[in-house]
Structures are given as structure tokens and as C-alpha cells.
Amino acid sequence: MKILKTCLLPALVGLAALHGSDAIAEQVTFQPNNHGKSLTTPIAWGASNNVIFFGVSGTSPSPYAAKSDGAAVVGYGFGDPKEYFGCHVTLISLDISQWKEYAAGVHLFRELGNSSALGVGVENVMLTNGGDSGKSYYAVYSQGVQSDIFVDKAHGTSKLSFSTGVGSGHYGNKSPLDIASGKGDHGTYVFGNIAYDVANEFNLITDWNGLNLNAGVSKTFRFASFPLVATVGAADLTHNSGDGVRFIFAVGTGFKL
């Protein structure tokens, strides 16, 4: 089971879409900073109000393989998550070496106030033949912590955010190779992530995707009004799945029409 086809791309969507969410947010409280919040798990905040986002991601090596893997995503966000609901849809190329396998996803979310949000979604809806993971559904709650010690009053942002959720499919089903390696049939079906802003420069991130623990960093670079979110990390830090620690990365951007 390739991580790009199961859980890394949803994180990329969250990273790129976060720019769109921040860009339209009324700062009535300490909003989450605009660095990435997750490595391999969803966040509740998403793209809305006519935001387009796109990016690429990769892993080296792929689980139980010597070669690397890469994928790409493009998405569109619409709706109003403050008044009603926001929604973004994604089209994913699962293998950029061949451009033959495509899947879609949908993320619906609502901002609850006080820098929190609730989201539900579906991933890996195959549009072509191929792919090595079926549809996965999830529900996730995200919060930008408002305690004084965790806010940056100069920039009006929360330095600490977290998400927790439950999901089906790849959030708990082990791959055939994991099962054959004696790593069990199922994970937790519960996932979560924590991100902390270090000196208003970048987020330190750790997440549990239902199968394994991951850690990394994310930073948003701005070139005039052009944002670029870059995230790097290490996946499969425990022996719960996969055959060793892997390098992962994602680069994405977003803009409002």
C-alpha cells in the first residue's frame, strides 16, 4: 500500500487549502497560523469562497519497495464555512510517473467559532482503473488553542493547533504486506495531529494516522502575495506498519479567484 495513495495527499490538500481559509477569515479570535498543520492526516479547516489549490507530494522509498513514489493534486473550494458550510473537491493523480490513475475526494466543513472547525470527507474515490486503496471516510475536529501561552498576539495567531478524528479504510486497514509481515490486520481507525509554531517561523508537526506515527516541519514562504507551503517529514517511525522509516514531502499553494 503506497502512502501517497492512502494518506499523504489529504494532508497536502489541507496545507494548500489553509491559505484560502486564512485569507477569508475574520480575525475575531486568534486564528491558526498559515503553516501546515499535518503530515498524513486531515484537518477540519479547508478551502472555500472560490479558492483554487494545487501541489505535489512524494515519499522515498515507498513501503516495501526500493523506488520512490510521487503524486499531484488540484482542488477547488466553495461555500461559506462561517455562515453555512465550506466544501472543497480534489482531483488526484496517484502516480505522476505514468499519469494513468486518478481519484477524487470531497471535504465538507463548518467553522464553529473560537478558532475551531468540524469536517467530514471521503478520499480515494477511484475515477480510473488501478489504485491500491478503496474509499476512506472520515470525520475530524480541529482547534487553534486560545490559551495565552499558546498565542502570538503580535501576529494575531494561535501557535498551537490540534486535530482528532475517526475514519474507515486506510485509517485502520493494514496492507496485505503488513499482514504478511505479522503487523496485524487493523490499526486504530482513530487519527490525530499536533502542530506548534516555533518562533513564528515554522510548525513542528507530529501525527498518528491510525497506522503509524510521523513527524516533520512545515513553513509557508511568501513571494509578494504568492504563498508556497513546503512540508518535509519522516513517516512510519514505529513498527506498526511499513518496513522502515521513510522521507516524505509536500509542496502546495492556493489562491482566491
Cell of 220: 509557508
pLDDT at 29 over 80: yes
Cell of 40: 498524513
Residue 130: per-residue pLDDT: 74
In tens, the pLDDT along 167-205 reads: 999 999 999 999 999 999 999 999 999 999 998 899 999
pLDDT-derived band of residue 6, with 50, 70 and 90 as boundaries?
A: very low
Q: What gap in Å lies between CA 236 and CA 38, rounded to an integer? A: 14
Q: Residues 229, 15: contact at Cβ < 8 Å?
A: yes
Listing from the earlier edge strand, what are the strands of the sheet with 157-158? Answer: 31-32, 157-158, 151-152
Q: Which residue has the cell 490486520?
A: 185
In tens, the pLDDT along 75-119 reads: 999 999 999 999 999 999 988 888 889 999 999 999 999 999 999
Query: Which of 253, 249, 251, 255 has its CA nearest to residue 58?
Result: 249
Q: What CATH number was assigned to the domain covering residues 3-256?
A: 2.40.160.40
In tens, the pLDDT along 41-56 reads: 999 999 999 999 999 9
Show me where the domains of the chain are located. 3-256
Q: What gap in Å lies between CA 208 and CA 102, rounded to an integer? A: 26
- Between residues 14 and 181, the one the model is more confident about: 181
In tens, the pLDDT along 212-246 reads: 999 999 999 998 878 999 999 999 999 999 999 99
Cell of 234: 519522516
In tens, the pLDDT along 165-175 reads: 999 999 999 99
Q: What gap in Å lies between CA 139 and CA 153, rounded to an integer? A: 31
Taking the CB of residue 176, how many other CB atoms lie within 10 A of it?
Answer: 11
First to last CA, the chain: 36
Residue 226: per-residue pLDDT: 83
pLDDT-derived band of residue 2, with 50, 70 and 90 as boundaries?
A: very low
Q: What is the pTM of this model?
A: 0.90
188 φ, ψ (degrees, to nearest 5): -95, -20
Residue 132: per-residue pLDDT: 65
